[in-house]
Amino acid sequence: MIEIKKNKETWPKTKLGEIVQIIAGQAPPSSSYNKNKKGVSFLRVTEFGEKTPSPVYWTSKPLKICEKNDVLLSVAGTIGNVNISDKRYSITRSIFALRIKNGKIIHPYLFYYLKTLKRLLEFYSSGSAQKIVTIKTIYNLEIPIPPLLIQKKIVSILNKAMELRENRRIAINLCTQLIQSYFKQIFGDPLSNPKNFPTKKIKDITIKTKYGTSVRCISDKTDFPVLRIPNVLKGKVKIEGMKYTTNHEEFSKHKLEAGDILFVRTNGNKNYVGRCAVFEEKHDMAFASYLIKLKTSDEILPHFLITLLQTNSGRKEILSKVRTTAGQYNINAENLKSIKIICPPKNLQEKFVKIKKQIDSLLEKLTDHLEKNTELYYSLQEQIFQKELVR
């Protein structure tokens, strides 16, 4: 085992531009974009992944090309994201490709080191309409250069930590897909309704719908917590980042009960409208005005309804009711209540919800493991690049 004890200050530093060739991207003509895999894969920052990109477009007229193993750095708009090129790509103007030009550094080491510089690069960025980082800034970045053997050891440690994170993410995605797959197995597609279940509008299976409070919320903790849009995420009520009110009367008017459904009715991102979750917290909480509360009748179980609304067919129905005003996407309570849903027998819903809750429990454990793996990953990065390195 290689023992790494030296502080990074003992390693020689080199300007990045002296050890890499910096290739500034340039967007090809938009008329050349296609999804038919004609030409070269065209890469934008939005298609960066955890380590390698996943492009969705090709171009028949590439202007600037990155090669396999180039380190890719976002330098406009979104600053400081880093990927490794797994093949040749045409790159847009917001990406620099960094190509190793001598044997002093290996590209995975550079990838991991640059990931620690995101905040620094954001600080160095300039521009009013869109923040950018210049070639000169990137050229002058000072990079610590440990011996190659140490670089490989660092890469090995961080690769293992990243792999743990990725495995957790894959498991979480599989569990989420399993819920949808099990739903479809029992009930079929809710839009085409191949099992001929009775159908009703949401207004016919709810006993109450209500908008949340518009009272001003504060960060200072009080006895009156208020759930907002960020607290409704991935089918769950998240209590991180809570806001509070001092208005007891408003809190009492909008206090939630177990089994209430919270539905996101407005957002600047169309895909966020329709996020929903079942309230199951033990503590009293109210909800804010950008949310709608639904209370279902005994005919429909809350967990069944939120799963149905998150199927592809359910999302399609929601989005068909969404309207836009001043850059905000909205669905009001009346349009929400007009959505038609299937109403399977209660025993089938109960069967589904029982399995869903088991999968939800597993998802909570996997999510907790992912958070711990992420903490480990960043802790290792800090030890390696900011403090002293460990065995």
**Nearest-CA neighbor of 162 among 8, 390, 5, 370?**
370
Q: Is residue 89's pLDDT more than 90?
A: yes
Instruction: Give the tokens for residue 319.
Output: 């989005």
Identify the pLDDT of residue 2: 41
Of 53-67, 122-136, 261-275, the least confident: 122-136
Mean pLDDT of 224-230: 96
Of 243-252, 258-267, 334-343, 366-375, the least confident: 366-375
Mean pLDDT over the full length of the chain = 92
Identify the pLDDT of residue 383: 80
Q: How far apart are the first and last CA of the chain?
A: 8
Q: What is the CA radius of gyration of the chain?
A: 25
> Given the structure tokens 């399993």, which residue do they identify?
178
Q: Which long-range contacts (C-beta less than 8 Å, at least 24 apart) are formed by 337-341? A: 337/201, 337/202, 337/203, 337/206, 337/209, 338/201, 338/202, 338/203, 339/201, 339/202, 340/199, 340/200, 340/201, 340/202, 341/190, 341/199, 341/200, 341/201, 341/202, 341/205, 341/300, 341/305, 341/308, 341/314
Confidence of residue 10 (pLDDT cuts 50, 70, 90): confident
8 versus 242: the higher-pLDDT residue is 242
Identify the pLDDT of residue 389: 45
Identify the pLDDT of residue 386: 67
Reported as a single tens digit per residue, the pLDDT across 322-370 is 999 888 999 999 999 999 999 999 999 999 999 999 999 999 999 999 9
d(CA 114, CA 83): 10
Q: Is residue 391's pLDDT more than 60?
A: no
Helix (H/G/I), strand (E/B), else coil: 242? coil
Instruction: Give the tokens for residue 211.
Output: 């908008």
Mean pLDDT of 32-47: 94
d(CA 53, CA 251): 46
Portion of the chain with pLDDT greater than 90, in percent? 85
Q: Is residue 4's pLDDT more than 80?
A: no
Mean pLDDT of 100-114: 94
Q: Is residue 229's pLDDT more than 80?
A: yes
**Nearest-CA neighbor of 306 among 349, 336, 276?**
276
Identify the pLDDT of residue 3: 47
Q: What predicted TM-score, i.e. pTM, was given to this entire model?
A: 0.75
Identify the pLDDT of residue 105: 95
d(CA 377, CA 37): 36
In terms of Cβ atoms closer than 10 Å to its own Cβ (0-12, 13-18, 19+), residue 38 is exposed
d(CA 134, CA 17): 12
In terms of Cβ atoms closer than 10 Å to its own Cβ (0-12, 13-18, 19+), residue 222 is middle
What residue type is assigned to position 332 of the chain? N
Identify the pLDDT of residue 390: 39
DSSP-derived pairing of the beta strands 40-43 and 57-59: antiparallel
